[in-house]
Amino acid sequence: MNAIDSPSKKRILVTGGAGFLGSHLCTRLLADGNHVICLDNFYTGSPDNIRSLVRTPAFEVIDHDVTSPIDLQVDEIYNLACPASPIHYQRAPLQTLKTCFMGAMNMLELAQATGAKILQASTSEVYGDPHVHPQPETYWGHVNPIGVRSCYDEGKRAAETLFFDYHRQFGVRIKVARIFNTYGPNMRPDDGRVVSNFIVQALRGEGLTIYGDGTQTRSFCYVDDLIEGFIRLMASDDTVTGPINLGTPAEFTMRELAELTTSLIGSTGGILHLPLPADDPTQRKPDISRAREVLGWQPTVALEAGLARTIEYFRGVV
């Protein structure tokens, strides 16, 4: 029997597997001895992210859009497929909303048909511009349903609804992870997220663009820590459905992040202030008490160390 066909190995589907998070997840799952199927339509995912994996016999790539059903035999599904940066999801808001909803439904149908466990990569954006700080999973959020970010925010909220209704009505084994700002290698230089923006601008000697006065906060989780959270959540007992916050409780202002980035790179481009985008949250910080208690998980990579690794990656692509 071929090693990749061994019954001890799981067949695991990762939608959005060529994206930033998906490529790291595929790498980890392969290292753990699984057969991994990477499904991606390459709208924001990149073949470069998985180039080192394609020679691995236990790795498959399928060019497919999750808004269309697919028939596969799998043991676990990680549903990560969706544009995650405002630049990309606002460029195609209807497709983003369709990906959130129809993509989730198609993967849930596949999970129901195969008996697979399925994890939804949800987001801290379900909390909107929060009135509760830090944000626990019990907080229902403060979201604009008709704004420019709504295709993503409300799309992810609707996907969570689908997951819990499939669980209640059909007994599908679900896991819902709410991801807070994550960064690391394989981010796109043009994705418009603050960490990649700052690093790329600093490496190019440009001014770092801060939207608003720079006092708004985010909590930044290094990608390896997040992937460990995914793995632990998927491996948890079936009674653990989530949602569970995955992120770091260390909170930084945009100005603090800009200053740390320029210090690590040695940039002298200064800071350029631009108007704050519509519906941009002023605070974002997870309460990870549930992750600590249920998964024994918490981040281990400090921001300065994670930024240094990310900067090293971007030096090779910018």
Q: Could you tell me where the DSSP H helices lie in 115-253?
A: 150-170, 194-203, 223-235
Beta strands in 41-86 (DSSP E): 59-63, 76-79
Amino acid at 96: T
Rounded to whole angstroms, the Cα distance separating 273 from 257 reads 14
Alpha-carbon Rg for the chain, nearest whole angstrom, is 19
What is the C-alpha to C-alpha distance for residues 127 and 218, in angstroms, rounded to an integer? 13
Tokens 């090693």 belong to residue: 3
Catalytic annotation present for 166: no
d(CA 5, CA 75): 13
> What span, in angstroms and rounded, lies between the C-alpha atoms of 249 and 253?
13
Dist. CA 140–CA 145, nearest whole Å: 13
Sequence-separated (6 or more) residues with CB below 8 Å from residue 218: 180, 181, 194, 251, 252, 254, 257, 284
Question: What are 60's strand-pairing partners?
Answer: 37
Rounded Cα distance, 222 and 300, in Å: 9
Phi and psi, residue 257, nearest 5°? -65, -45
- Bridge partners, residue 176, by sequence: 120
CA gap 96, 35 in Å, rounded: 28
264's enclosing H/E stretch is helix 254-265
Beta strand 182-183 with 221-222: parallel, antiparallel or unpaired?
Answer: parallel
Tokens matching residue 295: 């998964």
Q: Which of 78, 89, 127, 152 is catalytic?
A: 152
Active site residues: 152
